[in-house]
Amino acid sequence: MSGYGRAYLWLAIIAGFAAISQSVLELAADPPGSQWFVVALLTLVSGTATIKLPGVPAHISISESFLFTAVLLFGPAAGIATVVCDAIIASVRTQK
């Protein structure tokens, strides 16, 4: 990887951690309520339901619809927390 590639990678990692930290602080100051947990649970459960794209060796998850719902109903901080949880679950699932 070139020097620019490494710099870009580290910049993306730092920006991601900054966004996650900011959203955790916002959620601690103003919790989204119990409805957010329902949407987050639906996101995590629907992450297991994938659709194979025809002609391409790839699958997509239907959990994105719940991610967009979390952002629209509860704001960007709750959306970031939801997508982080979904990404962790997807990473664990693909490691098996």
pLDDT of residue 24: 93
Phi/psi at 51 (nearest 5 deg)?
-120, 130
DSSP code per residue over 42-55: HHHHHTT-EEEPTT
- Predicted TM-score (pTM) of the model is 0.77
- Phi, psi (rounded to 5 degrees) for 69: -65, -40
Q: How confident is the model at residue 57 (pLDDT cuts 50, 70, 90)?
A: confident
Asked if 70 and 6 count as a contact pair (C-beta separation under 8 A), the reply is: no
pLDDT-derived band of residue 64, with 50, 70 and 90 as boundaries? confident
pLDDT tens track for 27-51 = 999 988 889 999 999 998 888 778 8
96/79 Cα distance (integer angstroms) = 26
